[in-house]
Structure 1
């Protein structure tokens, strides 16, 4: 299964159809961090030299794909050198001018970050160079490679708006240069993920998937995780199940489906009949009705294919936690005045920045905070929140962990860099994804108004204690 998932991911990368998770990064950090792994992968017989130019620019790319690309290039270089030789990794700033762009296809003139990998191997003749980025083409003997490594690198770079150039001479070696577009923004701060145990549930899930093998596999994985699973072969039959009156907690549907009824319309009709239903889409393609320009439409939950059992479990935990939070907020809104009146008397006018991509959770939680005497600024994404942090006096940041674009922990690190005494609350159904090096109050979803206010007060107390100690 894992090999098949890797194969599918590589094919999607070549076709420029994988859903990337780009961030503003400085590639130097990734190359340095991969040094030990690269040396283990290529063996002791190969000397590794890394050359980093001064003042390297940032670039907007998917960090995981950069690491995969560098590892693929290093392994190809190792095989070309048959375990003996020198591997040179070079990073530098580059400007591709109009003349260069005219001489090559699909290139926009401008500033790029160049990542080059050179080897002292056997090199390649021109007829091989012309085919080296084609899927399943390989210079290795049968059984020694899938022929997808370089095609994956090519597809990822092109999807990221970059350019790939290869130089090779028989008997001398090969250099492959990746040109990644320069980003003018400051670097996003990476936060290490804490991996916890895989946890399932007991809710009822409707799986809508037209591929029989995929459907059977998903049903088996969800059943093993404890869920009660219903299944449908297309959107129309999925709607029939929903209209039957069976209580369904989660609609898990492929985006690209046969028939006249499409998945987004199925989701809309499902929410009309079952307002509390959680909807999770899945797709292996970025060019569909819920992903545009490689980014998700607002308010959409997507699990990209191929996915592991662990990824499936964690995504379900996330969407179900949000579903429970929406129910909790609706039930609590009628009692907000009485339940928090005493708390409101103790609150001086503090400003809370609430970051949550689920509209209902964000609005109802903001009302709870306002009823307790807090001033509330709300944002649907980390990018919106950063603007508020830069311009407004914020006392406490409350953020979901799983946000579109920059994650909640990334946002917290960025916010702390600007406001060291800022109180932080992480609100999520998957708190295992929060790095322990980010001092914060953890608020599990679903939460009640009193839990929300208590978490804010704890965050304020922590921030005030830190100020006093300074």
Structure 2
């Protein structure tokens, strides 16, 4: 029998200097374990080394063999150019190869200074894809700011396994910042790149769509309710939002994430969605405000309410509405997938 689960687990911050590599980050490992209903224990002793024990729930059920479903990764449109800025040679080479295979034209730099030189050269660049923690005096967020000044239409996508609060504050991404966590899959990166590039596609004079965004995903069963849909996630915990967003994007959905009621209402006014997934405890109020907004003004939208406490008594009347699903945290990825599936079918 394994030892009992620890009552408390404190994860230390990194001891590595910027540019020396960070790996996945213990905080993200902790998040992955907890969202799987598991526990993690770290024991370290001078002269003996460090032992990490991860406990995950077991099951006696037979393994479910799923049919291989590999959605077609979104491809480049109209000769789009991506500037990849990454100090790790292996990671940069992998990203460049992946994006080149998708049809993008790639420029690359090993640090922010070289990246800025490419930006200032006058080259056409549609998207800046840069690691958060970079060596040298010029930081990645400053590179992004200067790139925006030089090329106002450029889109920016950050990546990191550890953010060092460079673009994350109080557990939330800075406003307008897009991030994909390392390690990412080929499909996850392809979908995220496509989504970020599409953010800059409509002009101010272009009317917003009158129906939810749609996209094409290959090799899904016709009866699968989780064919590509547009989903708004309102969740102030960045790790939870990232994990959920990337899971849904890999399923082929278009996902927009935010951490506040104000931003969520702005996005609802500008774009139509099939499903809204919202936490109840948000920095600027209750997620019930979002639910009410959707029920009053977005008749085609369904809602999944997720909360870290049993809030079913508080929303009894709302749960009578077939467009609303309730899911208590912590939940498994499969439980969220089922809730969204039901919401889409409503």
Please report how far the alpha carbon of residue 195 of structure 1 lies from its aligned counterpart in structure 2 after TM superposition: 7.0
The corresponding residue for 2:144 is 267
1:167-218: CA deviations, max 9, x gaps? xxxxxxxxx899xxxxxxxxxxxxxxx9733223242110001122221111
Partner of 2:132: 255
Q: What residue is the counterpart of 2:61 in the other structure?
A: none
C-alpha distance after superposition, 1:77-135 (max 9, x if no partner): xxxxxxxxxxxxxxxxxxxxxxxxxxxxx9xxxxxxxxxxxxxxxxxxxxx9969x954
- Going from structure 1 to structure 2, the CA distance change for 1:362 and 1:256 (only over 3 Å counts) comes to same
Query: Whole-Å Cα distance in 2 between the matches of residues 129 and 354 of structure 1?
Result: 38
Q: Are residues 387 and 298 of structure 1, via their aligned partners in 2, closer, same or farther at CA, if it must alter by over 3 Å?
A: farther
Instruction: Give the Å deviation of 1:399.
Output: 11
Q: Specify whether residues 320 and 367 from structure 1 end up closer, same or farther in structure 2 by C-alpha distance, changes over 3 A only.
A: closer
- Aligned counterpart for 1:63 among listed residues 21, 32, 35: 35
TM-score by length of 1: 0.41
1:230 maps to which of 94, 98, 107: 107
Match of 1:200 in 2: 75
- Structure 1 gap segments, 5+ residues each: 1-10, 23-60, 74-105, 107-127, 136-149, 154-175, 179-193, 341-352, 370-378, 401-407, 425-431, 441-461, 463-470
1:19 Cα offset (Å)? 7.2
CA pair 200-177 structure 1, distance change in 2 beyond 3 A:
closer
Shift of residue 231, structure 1, vs aligned partner: 0.5
Matches of 1:20 and 1:397 in 2, distance apart? 36
In 2, the alpha carbon distance for the partners of 1:364 and 1:230 equals 32
For the pair shown, which has the larger CA radius of gyration, 1 or 2?
1
Tell me whether 1:420 sits opposite 2:325 in the alignment: no
Distance 1:318 1:152 in 2: 37
**Inter-CA distance 393–279: structure 2 relative to 1 (3 Å threshold):** closer
Match of 1:395 in 2: 296
Aligned to 2:179: 302
CA RMSD of aligned residues (A): 5.0
Does residue 439 in structure 1 map to residue 344 in structure 2? yes
Given that 2:133 and 2:163 are in contact with CA atoms closer than 8 Å, whether structure 1 keeps it comes out as no
Task: For structure 2, list consecutive stretches of 5 or more residues without a partner in the other structure.
Answer: 1-21, 58-68, 211-231, 235-255, 326-336
1:16 is matched with which residue? Answer: 26
TM-score by length of 2: 0.53
In 1: Cα distance, 2:266 partner to 2:340 partner: 27
**Compared CA separation, residues 398 and 321, structure 1 to 2 (3 A):** farther
Contact 1:207 1:219 in 2 (8 A): yes
- Which digits, 9 at most, give the CA deviation of each residue in 1:415-455, with x for residues without a partner? 9963625499xxxxxxx999543236xxxxxxxxxxxxxxx
Give the C-alpha shift of residue 354 in structure 1: 11
Cα 1:237/1:297, change in 2 over 3 Å? same
1:279 equivalenced with 2:153 (yes/no): no
Question: Equivalent residue of 1:240, what SS?
Answer: helix
Cα deviation for residue 262 of structure 1 reads 0.7
Instruction: Describe the shift of the 1:399–1:195 C-alpha distance in structure 2 as closer, same or farther (beyond 3 A).
Output: farther
More helix by share: 1
Residue 382 of structure 1 deviates from its aligned partner by 5.1
> Do the aligned partners of residues 63 and 368 (structure 1) sit closer, same or farther apart at CA in structure 2, a change above 3 Å counting?
closer
Kindly tell me: are residues 365 and 270 of structure 1, through their superposed partners in 2, closer, same or farther at Cα, counting changes over 3 Å?
A: farther
Moved more, 203-212 or 353-362: 353-362
Match among 349, 363, 366 for residue 269 of structure 2: 366
